[in-house]
A and B are shown apart, each in its own frame.
Chain A
Amino acid sequence: MSGWAHHDGLAVGLARENIDTDQLIPARFMSAPRNAGYGRFLLHDLRGEPGFALDDPAAKGASVLVARRNFGGGSSREAAVYALVDAGFRAVIAPSFGDIFAGNAVNNGLLPARVTTGAAEALLACLPAALAIDLAAQTIALGDLTLSFDIDPIWKTKLLNGWDDIDLTASYRAEIAGYAKARRGAAPWVWPNETRGDPAPTTGSDQ
């Protein structure tokens, strides 16, 4: 994954709250291998609804999505992020995000930019339109409007650098081995050892 610092692109608005990951990609598409592309699954079951923003010809080629609160709540399916990335999106702007979704987004170079509710509404009022994102400065510019956004500093660094965690973690090999040894001494039960036959699934005290 390569890092990025600036993005200029067309932004489209989806003026809804709670766009959960089941809506971003319905479960029935998740058995597909990634190499065929997930973009065609994005918000699949909302397509064709009257006035659905992503169906608007003016939204074609959009790379930034603006939405209302709690975007990406629900399931941990990274496929929700694949669908956005494969459809050409580089950033989602919303007042709040599901934590797991936001982490998955960053792991795929997709920016989850947190803005105030007022800022999200201001943007939604003038989309679709071209805007510019400056990741280092944490700003969004649209015409005369300049807004700031929040991003966890750890995630920001990761997006800027395009870090791969597995490579990064490899440099801590000695610390991990040391920890594993200590853990085995302190909590030997963590290494499972089947001790007896199957217990009946009893319930403890019934309530």
Chain B
Amino acid sequence: MKSLFDKLWDDHVITRRDDGAALLWVDRHYVHEGSHHAFARLAERGLPVAQPALTVGVADHYVPTRRDGGAVDADIARMIDTLTRNAGRHDLRFFGLGDRRQGIVHVMGPEQGLTLPGMLVVCGDSHTSTHGGLGAYGFGIGATEVAHVLATQTIWQKKPRRLRLSFTGRAAPGVGAKDMALHWISVLGADGARGHAVEYAGEAVRALSVEGRLTLCNLSIEGGARCGMVAPDAVTLDWLRGRSFAPTGDAFDRAAETWLALASDTGAVFDREERVDMADVAPIVTWGTSPEDAAPITATVPDPARAPKAQAPRIAEALDYMGLRAGQPLTSVAVDQVFIGSCTNGRIEDLRAAAAVLAGRRAKVPGLVSPGSTLIKAQAEAEGLDRVFLDAGLEWVEAGCSMCVGMNGDLVAPGKRCASSTNRNFRGRQGPGARTHLMSPAMVAAAAVTGHLADVRPLLEGRT
């Protein structure tokens, strides 16, 4: 009786030490511009990359989203150039600027079929948990570990505890994977799943598209989980068939048989079980500086004076930074700008969901829309979504991490408030002094057309 995670773990154990650490095989290692520390370490030791064929380079964190020939900041150009040279030196498959398959690593990897069910996937980026949406064991690692994986194609790990998070019932209209994720994080806390491998289960998870599952797993790290995953099923197989690097024909069918067998056995044991009733999940926004600071859009900003004593100082600090008043309705919070994109919500369905709200309407505030990959950009343009964004008054730009992390210069100015489809509302995440409210892409669109945090549901009436 094994769980999905037990099977993934056991499949990758090379050896175990007496102290409980296991040496695991890495099937797929993604590197990006931020991996420069690890390549430097490898160079210091004169080591080659052990498995170049299993190592994939992607330019995403620093790439400019406006590539109209304007001057690129020298520091940013150097970061991309360093990655390009390291990928060339070590003979890695590389998706750089100008490659139409380029995109955010956690978007383009699954899109290309470079991530497949049953794989162990690592990357020097915490949102590597995303890949669990395909039934892979994906987790973020630091630079020392990146260097270790480059040098050995393995990683030492202690087995995390198993947590099954079941979503019972069905999603109400206007509620999606982002809301499910922010809801559980607000209930269990930003460290609520610390030390755990999360398996998302239940009717509402099964009903999610692969895009939704990738979003749900992406945010696992925001609840402190080591990784998050959804068992592969027919939805997964349909999504993967025909992807560039997925097997074809009989080879696909043989692989699919293996993948479907990864699902948790009936009676599999979990170290911990948590349940969410979908009746409790509404469209959600964050009000504070941690993803756990999330509430239904119909709620009010929490009052530190009414909060448990231990939480009061933190809430007061967060409200001070965010410039919010205790007790004010969330829908009364005016925003200065919006952002749609990121590894959390930069996929085609996300763009469609935002466009469904924006169609025929004008945004009251400026905003940026950055697709998760260049192929998604092309797809969106083929569907006419770019026109919807442009006609609404938003900017339609190239693919990259962009304003989620601001490394490429797409920043929110100090004191400005942004409704954002991203993953972190940390202080300064989108720029020094920036105020971020996390929400689904449809909710970002609702904020854009109203100029304040807003419930998307009335705006969807007659449209879906």
Contacts and interface: CB of A to CB of B under 8 A. Distances in A.
Pair from one complex: yes
B173 to A, nearest CB: 11
A31 B245 contact: no
Contacts of A20: 290, 424, 426-427
A81 B194 CA distance: 19
Interface string A82-116: 00000000000000111110011001100000000
Contacts of A189: 116, 246-247, 251, 255
Interface stretch (A56-64, A129-137, A169-177): A169-177
B329 interface: no
Nearest to A32: B75
A153 B427 CA distance: 33
Interface residues of A, number: 71
Given A70-B190, A206-B349, A195 B314 contact: no
B191 A100 contact: no
A154 B20 contact: yes
A153 B19 contact: yes
Interface in B205-259: 207-212, 221, 224, 226, 235, 238-239, 242-248, 251, 255, 258
A46 B25 CA distance: 40
Contacts of A192: 53-54, 93, 114, 245
B19 A196 contact: no
Given A45-B432, A187-B27, A199 B14 contact: no
B415 interface: no
Interface in A136-176: 152-154, 157, 165-166, 169-170, 172, 175-176
A33 B38 CA distance: 11
Contacts of A190: 27-28, 54, 116, 119
Contacts of B376: 201
B21 A154 contact: yes
Given A18-B314, A30-B34, A201 B119 contact: no
Contact of B79 (A31, A98, A165, A191): A31
Given A23-B426, A99-B224, A154-B158, A199 B153 contact: no
Contact of A34 (B37, B247, B405, B406): B37
A17 B313 CA distance: 9
B57 interface: no
Interface residues of B, number: 105
Contacts of B292: 18
A179 interface: yes
Interface in B350-401: 352, 373, 375-376, 378-379, 382
Contact of B153 (A23, A100, A180): A180
A107 B407 contact: no
B141 A100 contact: yes
A27 interface: yes
B417 interface: no
B202 interface: no
A185 interface: no
B154 A199 contact: no
A73 B37 contact: no
A204 B40 contact: no
A187 B313 CA distance: 52
A203 B373 CA distance: 14
Q: Which of A22, A23, A192, A196 has the most CB of B within 10 A?
A: A192
B455 interface: no
Given A103-B142, A198-B100, A205-B209, A22 B244 contact: no
B135 interface: no
A169 B79 contact: no
Given A76-B141, A100-B141, A192-B114, A172 B23 contact: yes
B209 A18 contact: no
A206 B238 CA distance: 12
B426 A74 contact: yes
Contacts of B243: 199
B39 to A, nearest CB: 12
Contacts of A40: none
A35 B422 CA distance: 32
A163 to B, nearest CB: 10
Nearest to A70: B191
A156 to B, nearest CB: 10
Contacts of A152: 158
A192 B23 CA distance: 23
Contacts of A198: 100-101, 244, 375
Contact of A194 (B27, B154, B245): B245
A153 B53 CA distance: 35
B242 A73 contact: no
Contacts of B14: 172, 175-176, 179
Contacts of A157: 19
Given A76-B128, A201-B111, 4 more contacts: A100-B141, A104-B144, A189-B251, A204-B209
Interface of A: 15-18, 20, 22-23, 26-28, 30-31, 33-34, 45-46, 69-70, 73-79, 81, 96-100, 103-104, 107-108, 117, 152-154, 157, 165-166, 169-170, 172, 175-176, 179-180, 183, 187-207
11 contacts: A20-B424, A22-B427, A100-B221, A103-B145, A157-B19, A165-B144, A190-B27, A190-B54, A192-B53, A192-B114, A201-B379
